[in-house]
Structure 1
Amino acid sequence: MKKTTILTAGIILFSSLLGATSTFAAEGGNYDSKGEITFKAGTNPESPLDPVNPDPTKPVVPVDPVDPTGPIGGTNGPLSIDYASSFQFGEQEILTTDKTYYAQVQAYTDSESVAKTGPNYVQVTDKRGTQKGWELSVVQKAQFATTEGEELAGAKLGLANGHAISDQQTGLNDTDKAAITPTATVSTGETGLVPGAKTVIMTAAEKQGVGTWLYDMGTADTAAESVSLLVPGKSVKLRAAYKTTLTWTLSDTPVAP
């Protein structure tokens, strides 16, 4: 009987210790710590990208076919124009009939120093962090003219086959791609620029156009005929170079969906 009592006491004491251990563990409680990161609008200029495969980790060096010292650098700020192609129509014989000439395609050196060609293009970047949308437009400041001011009367510069491209489209289905992609307003047919008049090229509605986007003038198949210059046969043509300037403007004016 004495042994039974001692054994029973031992069991009760052991059970009490287990209960105490379990209670202490439950009283450890919870503790929350935090993590935080804050972004601000980006201001550093972006490098030109490959118009065929715009990978931001593989910038390219474009060739300016008009100015051998170019191209000029892009604009600074959270909403920037990073690059715009210049159009070279080459040396042509004087004709007395209407003739359409096509600009040379964009030449560039890729990130591995390989010489390539692709569509002429304009590259823009939105790093504002607002998703408010934007508008890209162009103005041909004046008619093609010589350094002495002799104009190429009736000449019409045309853009065609435009489309928006970005690495952000990679892997998305058509619905998700459409939700983030700006609208290329000069996409089908040909739009002729009117000297002195604004032409809207690409628009991004709210939540579209975030990051870097390219307006490509043509694809691998159509790039060689996507930038044109129609010269009337009756226009006077001197033995001289005719030039014009295109001013590209990126506005933060929100565009309605």
Structure 2
Amino acid sequence: MKKILLLLSLVSVWPLTGHAQDVDGKAETEFQANDGTVSPVDPDEGNEVIPIYPPTNGPLSLSYAADLEFGSHKFNGKETTFLAENYTVTQVATNKAKQYPPFVQINDLRGSGAGWTLAVKQNSPLAKENGVEIANSQFKISAISADSPHGMTQKPSTLYSKNVLNNGETVPIITAKDGEGMGTWTIFLGDMASKNPELSVPLKSVKETGRYQTSLTWILQDVL
């Protein structure tokens, strides 16, 4: 007589019942406005860069604002217009340096899509430390483009061009309407060439050689 050997494989299964029974559950998450600070990033690569000034905090914040440097020039007594120099940023992790036109970087992490506006104010005359001023000098600043380092697509749509900035004045640079400008955005103030910010120095307005400076305040706020 032959013996028959049965090989059994055991598989654990949930028992079946005569009627299917369903239980409904739910999945949920909550997003809140980010009220911390956001480090500035390389406009192209999105890697963290060394800030010039500490980033502001809150859900609508500034991470980066490049200083405007117009270089060193010979004293000629003529009316002259100078272009701002391009700016070098340095990545934190790799120490890699890259050059860009002057830019401002903003963050809208409110989660509302309510829009915002960026403006700039000149706080004092262009002057030396000893108080000697360049009378009637003017800046011209334009928002050339707005790009997202993280691939956001709803760009701010209102870019202001050739804004004339005088001492004590505030002028708009760019506005994001409802549904625009959410996330992180780099606002380029130039194109590495002829569209960089301008400084106009009137005829015979430079009385002394030396270094002249002023300060600018960048103002980011809700759309009014």
**TM-score band, normalised by shorter chain:** 0.7 to 0.9
Which amino acid in 2 is paired with 1:196?
G
Q: Which has the larger radius of gyration?
A: 1
The CA RMSD over aligned residues, in Å, is: 2.0
1:35 aligned to 2:27? yes
Note the 1:59-70 alignment, pairs <5 A. 59-61=48-50
Query: Which residue, out of 20, 32, 55, partners 1:74?
Result: 55
1:242 aligned to 2:224? no
Query: Which residue, out of 22, 29, 47, partners 2:39?
Result: 47
Query: Aligned with 1:30: secondary structure?
Result: coil
- Counterpart-to-counterpart distance in 2, 1:181 and 1:225: 20
- Hey, what does 2:196 align to over in structure 1? 226
What is the TM-score normalised by the length of structure 2?
0.85
- Counterpart-to-counterpart distance in 1, 2:150 and 2:69: 31
CA shift, 1:153, in A, is 0.7
Query: In 2, are the aligned partners of 1:54 and 1:166 still within 8 Å (CA)?
Result: no
Which amino acid in 2 is paired with 1:186?
Y
- Hey, what does 1:207 align to over in structure 2? 179
Note the 1:14-163 alignment, pairs <5 A. 25-51=17-43, 53=44, 55=46, 58-61=47-50, 71-110=52-91, 111-160=93-142, 162-163=144-145
Provide structure 2 residue ranges, at least 5 long, that are not aligned to the other structure. 1-15
What is the TM-score normalised by the length of structure 1?
0.74
Render the CA deviation track for 1:134-176: whole Å, top value 9, x for unaligned.
Answer: 1111111122011222210121111236211113546xxxxxx
- Counterpart-to-counterpart distance in 2, 1:38 and 1:164: 29
Give identity over the alignment, percent.
Answer: 33
Cα distance change, pair 77–107 in 1 and its aligned pair in 2 (3 A): same
Cα distance change, pair 163–184 in 1 and its aligned pair in 2 (3 A): farther
Q: Which has the higher helix share?
A: 1
- Aligned residue pairs total 208
Render the CA deviation track for 1:154-204: whole Å, top value 9, x for unaligned.
Answer: 21111236211113546xxxxxx4xx11134224xx322122111111111
1:192 aligned to 2:173? no
Which amino acid in 1 is paired with 2:174?
M
- Hey, what does 1:166 align to over in structure 2? 148
- Counterpart-to-counterpart distance in 2, 1:140 and 1:100: 18
CA shift, 1:218, in A, is 2.2
- Counterpart-to-counterpart distance in 2, 1:248 and 1:83: 10
Provide structure 1 residue ranges, at least 5 long, that are not aligned to the other structure. 1-23, 63-70, 171-176
- Counterpart-to-counterpart distance in 2, 1:144 and 1:36: 55
